[in-house]
Amino acid sequence: MKTKSIEDLSKHIGVNFSDISFLRTACTHRSYINENKTAGGTHNERLEFLGDAVLELVVTSFLFRKYPKKQEGELTAFRSSIVNTVSLTIVAEKMGLNDYMLMSKGEAKDSGRARSVILANAVEAVIGAIYMDGGYNTAANFISQYILNTIDIEEIVAKKTWIDAKSKFQERAQEKVGITPSYKTLKETGPDHNKIFTLGVFLGDVQVATGSGQSKQEAEQQAAEKALTVKGW
């Protein structure tokens, strides 16, 4: 049973809300509304949509100024490495966000990749809530504190970890065996609002690895990461 209030979260992240309902909505997963139809309120997906755009703008502006000689393609890759699910899950953990989330009983018991996606999306929703309540500068300050100041961007650039797994596997496959990898959907599970895709990555007719995610792109990335390990590339 949760003992922490949404006001506690507001204090913890150092943001004073004029309308705390924005933050409460940001911490409400669709599954909770579906399971508690008489509870009132709404889920966080609209705020997530807004927060994603605000986050992208703030990070893009930061990178544009920090790397004046980098071209669009590299800057896009840097941004993707900063705002991906893994990074945002780390931010959620730093915020202690899991303690404030309203989810269905089933989702509350889940863990692993599915929970990471929920928490990463909730971080974006919180950013949307901060923007709606306090404006751009307040949201930008939050992003700087919890994201830009906690991720080693110089290491990402130096080690080229911004190159996504799918691109890396394709490059290695073409270099090593002269084959361009292909991806096929193996199955789709779950309700429409929370569908999980499982895809396989193939070299010719040989399946090298599989990956799962809440989008086909996410599943492809996971499959490529596993394929790199399988092949030792």
124 among known catalytic residues: yes
Do 41 and 33 meet the contact criterion of CB atoms below 8 Å apart?
yes
Residue 146 is given by DSSP the state: I
Nearest of 99, 144, 148, 97 to residue 125 by alpha carbon: 97
**Contact between residue 13 and residue 97 where contact means Cβ atoms under 8 Å apart:** no
Q: Determine contact, residues 6/25, Cβ cutoff 8 Å.
A: no
Q: Give the Cα separation of 38 and 17 in Å (integer).
A: 26
Rounded to 5 degrees, φ, ψ at 152 are -80, 85
Active site residue 205: no
Q: Choose the catalytic residue: 124, 164, 220, 225.
A: 124
The catalytic position among 35, 45, 52, 56 is: 52
Identify whether the C-beta of residue 217 lies closer than 8 Å to the C-beta of residue 210. no
Positions annotated as catalytic residues are 52, 124
